[in-house]
Amino acid sequence: MLKAMMLAVCIVFSGVAVATVNYAENTVGANRAVPNRIVEKAMDVIQATSILKAPYSAFYKISGKAGKDNFDFKRVSAKKSFPDARWAKLARSIANQVRIPAPSTGSRVKPSANAYVAFYTGGIEGLEPKRVLQLETSVEGEPNTLAVLVIDKKTSSGSTRFTGFQPVPEVYFFELAL
């Protein structure tokens, strides 16, 4: 009986050790603020792996609150930028580029969302997104930076979507010149 129990414990721990993936520092995969499951569910394996393993130049987490029918992303709640936080306003602007429905069941239930924006100078090798939005900036020239926007919505378990809302993708790509 004791041998069987020890064998079961060894099998469980060996399975957990195999499932753990180590990511380099300054990547979305290593950043504990970003739920990796969103990227993994929204994309195919190759694209998700490219995003999770690529080192970023800057990362921002922006908190969103429900407005009338959409989320408004106003407050930068976490940042990791090199050498400084100069792209914080740009990250907030990118988060607000996408209209995300905010379902509600009444005035007391307020859903929330977090937007995670990572900037990749030079883009991500091996990533070929289907749709990339071009953003105009004050810098002239070809886009040289890829911004990846990941949305994590949190609604109460009792809330339902309005019938007019369509499901919103959770990962967006933007190209801009910086």
> Who wins on pLDDT, 68 or 165?
68
In this structure, are strands 133-134 and 171-176 parallel, antiparallel, or unpaired? Answer: parallel
pLDDT of amino acid 87:
86
Residue 161 has pLDDT above 70, yes or no: no
Predicted confidence band at 143 (pLDDT cuts at 50, 70, 90)?
confident
C-alpha to C-alpha distance for 36 and 30, rounded to whole angstroms: 9
pLDDT digits (tens, 9 = 90+) for 2-42: 565 555 555 555 554 444 578 888 888 888 888 788 888 87
Domain residue spans of the chain: 24-176
Arithmetic mean of pLDDT, 115-141? 85
C-alpha to C-alpha distance for 125 and 168, rounded to whole angstroms: 26
Residue 69 has pLDDT above 60, yes or no: yes
- 3-class secondary-structure state, position 130: coil
What tokens does 71 get?
Answer: 């989320």
Considering the chain, what is the average pLDDT of its residues? 76
pTM for the predicted model, two decimal places: 0.74
C-alpha to C-alpha distance for 79 and 59, rounded to whole angstroms: 6
